[in-house]
């Protein structure tokens, strides 16, 4: 038995020479066999156990002291990897994956400047409020750069905080060279704040430093035309003509601007025709614009030019025919229009279909129009078919109630698409044709849709404000005012409307009166602000002070409803004759809010409320 026993330490192959010290140390600490263990003395085994315990305690101590640091280093490393992945996804236009990677990177290491900056950029692009928190975090970390300042300016602009954005813009321009993106944002922010001179100076400095940037050069020229004095306007027009000679995209944009102007000089007209015809980026709309100007310049050649235009496009693709369709329909060239277009050509192409339906309407071909609308092969969306049906009922002279019901159906169809421009279009249509309740509801739906288009949001809100007032809907008007004040706190007109609504309703009087007085102190000659101050005194039952606040006011600056409020204030202060003289200037049936009517009834108790909706007056026929 003893002869057959295998000794691991003697029979095993020797390890590589460099590993031998470590292998022997390991075998000393952890004997590989019972025989090896028996050959060790008690003191040796005790020392080995002590060393094992010491090593274990040492490793544990090191892990406790540095484990968190090592973990954070690993998290930071993984976070940077995910940031790089996000940037690559963004280059590949996989934006959802980029967003997800950036979010994971931030969660792994919330103190990683790269992750914070990347995620903040995505929040700025999507116009979310959280972006400002992330940028503030970069400041606290001491990692805020000039590029981050530009990002912060964009974030403030998205939040409509134009005042703070203007301060940051000035800081950026003071501490670094003008940046094109900052200048573009400054163009919007300074216009919103009505800081014309500052904007023109910012644009001038940038154009002097970057004369080859034609986009900003064109913007500077247009702003001089829009905001400048007569000399600056003249210089701006000269600059636009200079940019228009460029063969690049800004040159074409300059030509489009000039084409919208009323040019009376024959030399300028010939020049713009030549530039439109030979610009390398010009498309079909620009060629049609050149022909329109040629016809206006030389009316004797009208037939020749139009016949040639139609003949040259008989075999053209339908995608290229929309500009000439618009031109022929607006010029009343219906015979030439029907040479180019028929039902089969337009039925499945909406841009041409709309012009074709309008021409049928103008030609009083209502039966053909109805057949085309109801044809299932006609490529119309549900809301379009409903709106055209309502319009057809309107031009055929159907009853007001029938048209109103059809407009309601069209509105419900458009609401399902969730697109603000569709709902606003129906609102505008209903408003023009004296269906105010439908228009109000449409504007309310449109204003509730959260979209990126700031101008479209403002158009929906302004329409809601106008229609709720026109319909005498006090509750709707006040809700719209408060909603607008929350969305655009820097807009002076909206703030005034919100304060006026509060004072009419008698709500939040303490803060409202203080805010109204502050606005009046800034512009003491504003008659509407004087009325707000007078309303504040009236609510505090100080009638004499209320009447005195309206001294030297221009009644022409007040709406009929505001004049009605003034009548009530003057009557309460004992100035009956003055109040009645103003009341006589307010027509019977004048639309106003119920609260305004109550003020007027203090002067004229027999004044009756107006009707909300009446039979429609004939509007323009075009859809």
The CA distance from 239 to 227, in Å, is 15
| pLDDT tens digits, one per residue of 294-336 | 998 889 999 999 999 999 998 888 888 999 999 999 988 999 9
Q: pLDDT grade, residue 12 (50/70/90)?
A: low
Q: What share of the chain is helix, strand, coil (3-state, %, to 5)?
A: 75, 0, 25
**Residue recorded with tokens 């003057």:** 570
The CA distance from 359 to 356, in Å, is 5
| pLDDT tens digits, one per residue of 589-616 | 788 888 888 888 888 888 777 654 443 4
- Residue 6, pLDDT > 60, answer no
Q: pLDDT grade, residue 356 (50/70/90)?
A: very high
- Residue 466, pLDDT > 80, answer yes
Higher pLDDT among residues 343 and 37, named by residue: 343
Residue of 307, 382, 316, 318 lying closest to 344 (CA atoms): 318
Higher pLDDT among residues 152 and 221, named by residue: 221
- Residue 525, pLDDT > 60, answer yes
Q: What is the mean pLDDT of residues 64-93?
A: 84
Q: What 3-state class would DSSP assign to 532?
A: helix
Q: What's the predicted TM-score (pTM) here?
A: 0.67
Question: If you write DSSP's letter for every residue of 315-349 in order, what string do you get?
Answer: TS-GGG-HHHHHHHHHTT-HHHHHHH--HHHHTT-
| pLDDT tens digits, one per residue of 411-454 | 999 888 888 888 999 999 999 989 999 999 999 998 888 776 77
Q: What pLDDT is stored for residue 270 in this prediction?
A: 92
Average pLDDT score, the chain: 85
The CA distance from 298 to 269, in Å, is 11
Containing H/E element for 548?
helix 543-549
Give the residue extent of every domain in the chain.
511-603
Q: Which two tokens stand for residue 476?
A: 């709707």
- Residue 11, pLDDT > 70, answer no
- Residue 203, pLDDT > 60, answer yes
- Residue 621, pLDDT > 80, answer no
Containing H/E element for 183?
helix 180-192
% of the chain exceeding 90 in pLDDT: 23
- Residue 242, pLDDT > 90, answer yes
> Which stretch of 6-15, 249-258, 290-299, 371-380 has the lowest confidence by average pLDDT?
6-15
| pLDDT tens digits, one per residue of 368-406 | 999 999 988 888 888 889 999 999 999 888 999 999 999
Q: pLDDT grade, residue 1 (50/70/90)?
A: very low
Check: CB of residue 100 under 8 Å from CB of residue 68: no
- Residue 274, pLDDT > 90, answer yes
- Residue 543, pLDDT > 50, answer yes
> Which stretch of 25-39, 87-101, 244-258, 463-477 has the lowest confidence by average pLDDT?
25-39
> Which stretch of 21-25, 333-337, 426-430, 544-548 has the lowest confidence by average pLDDT?
21-25
Higher pLDDT among residues 438 and 50, named by residue: 438
> Rounded to 5 degrees, what are φ and ψ at 331?
-85, -5
- Residue 3, pLDDT > 60, answer no
| pLDDT tens digits, one per residue of 155-184 | 888 877 778 888 888 888 777 777 788 888
How many Cβ atoms from other residues are within 10 Å of residue 450's Cβ?
8
Query: Cβ neighbours of residue 433 under 8 Å, at least 6 residues apart?
Result: 394, 403, 616, 619
Rg, C-alpha atoms of the chain: 38
């Amino acid at each position: 038995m003893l002869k057959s026993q295998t000794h691991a330490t003697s029979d095993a192959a020797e390890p590589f020479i460099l590993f031998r010290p470590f292998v022997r140390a390991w075998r000393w600490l952890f004997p590989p066999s019972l025989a090896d263990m028996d050959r060790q003395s008690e003191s040796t085994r005790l020392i080995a156990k002590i060393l094992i315990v010491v090593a274990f305690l040492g490793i544990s101590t090191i892990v406790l002291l540095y484990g968190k640091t090592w973990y954070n280093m690993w998290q930071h490393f993984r976070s940077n990897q995910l940031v790089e992945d996000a940037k690559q996804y963004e280059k590949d236009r996989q934006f959802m994956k980029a967003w997800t990677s950036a979010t994971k990177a931030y969660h792994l290491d919330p103190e990683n400047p790269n992750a914070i900056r990347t995620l903040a950029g995505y929040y700025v692009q999507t116009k979310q409020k959280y972006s400002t928190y992330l940028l503030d975090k970069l400041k606290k970390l001491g990692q805020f750069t000039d590029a981050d300042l530009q990002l912060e300016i964009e974030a403030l602009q998205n939040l409509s905080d134009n005042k703070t954005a203007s301060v940051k813009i000035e800081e950026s321009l003071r501490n670094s060279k003008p940046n094109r993106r900052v200048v573009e944002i400054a163009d919007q922010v300074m216009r919103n704040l009505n800081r014309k001179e500052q904007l023109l100076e910012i644009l001038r400095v940038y154009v002097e430093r970057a004369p080859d940037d034609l986009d900003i050069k064109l913007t500077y020229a247009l702003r001089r035309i829009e905001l400048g004095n007569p000399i600056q306007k003249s210089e701006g027009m000269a600059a636009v003509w200079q940019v228009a000679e460029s063969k690049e995209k800004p040159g074409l944009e300059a030509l489009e601007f000039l084409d919208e102007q009323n040019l009376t000089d024959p030399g300028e007209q010939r020049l713009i025709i030549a530039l439109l015809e030979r610009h390398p980026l010009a498309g079909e709309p620009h060629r049609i614009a050149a022909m329109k100007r040629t016809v206006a310049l030389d009316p004797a050649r009208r037939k020749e030019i139009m016949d040639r235009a139609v003949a040259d496009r008989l075999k053209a693709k339908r995608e290229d025919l929309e500009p000439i369709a618009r031109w022929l329909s607006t010029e009343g060239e219906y015979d030439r229009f029907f040479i180019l277009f028929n039902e089969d050509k337009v039925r499945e192409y909406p841009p041409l279909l709309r012009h074709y339906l309008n021409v049928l309407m103008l030609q009083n071909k209502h039966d053909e129009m109805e057949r085309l609308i109801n044809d299932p092969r006609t490529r119309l969306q549900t809301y379009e078919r409903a709106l055209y049906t309502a319009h057809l009922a309107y031009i055929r002279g159907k009853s007001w109630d029938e048209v109103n019901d059809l407009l309601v159906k069209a509105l419900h169809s458009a609401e399902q698409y969730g697109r603000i421009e569709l709902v606003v279009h129906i609102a505008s249509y209903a408003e023009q044709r004296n269906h105010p309740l439908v228009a109000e509801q449409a504007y309310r739906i449109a204003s509730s849709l959260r979209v990126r288009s700031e101008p479209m949001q403002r158009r929906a809100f302004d329409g809601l404000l106008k229609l709720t007032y026109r319909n005498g809907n006090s509750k709707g008007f006040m809700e719209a005012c408060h909603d607008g004040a929350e969305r655009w706190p820097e807009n002076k007109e909206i703030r005034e409307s919100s304060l006026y609504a509060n004072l009419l309703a008698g709500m939040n009087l303490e803060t409202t009166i203080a805010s109204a007085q502050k606005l009046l102190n800034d512009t003491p000659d504003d008659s509407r602000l004087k009325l707000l101050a007078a309303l504040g005194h009236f609510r505090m039952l100080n009638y004499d002070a209320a009447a005195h606040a309206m001294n030297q006011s221009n009644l022409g600056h007040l709406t009929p409803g505001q004049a009605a409020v003034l009548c009530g204030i003057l009557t309460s202060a004992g100035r009956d004759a003055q109040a009645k003289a103003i009341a006589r200037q307010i027509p019977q049936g004048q639309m106003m809010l119920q609260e305004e009517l109550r003020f007027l009834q203090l002067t004229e108790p027999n004044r009756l409320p107006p009707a909300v909706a009446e039979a429609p007056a004939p509007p323009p026929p075009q859809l």
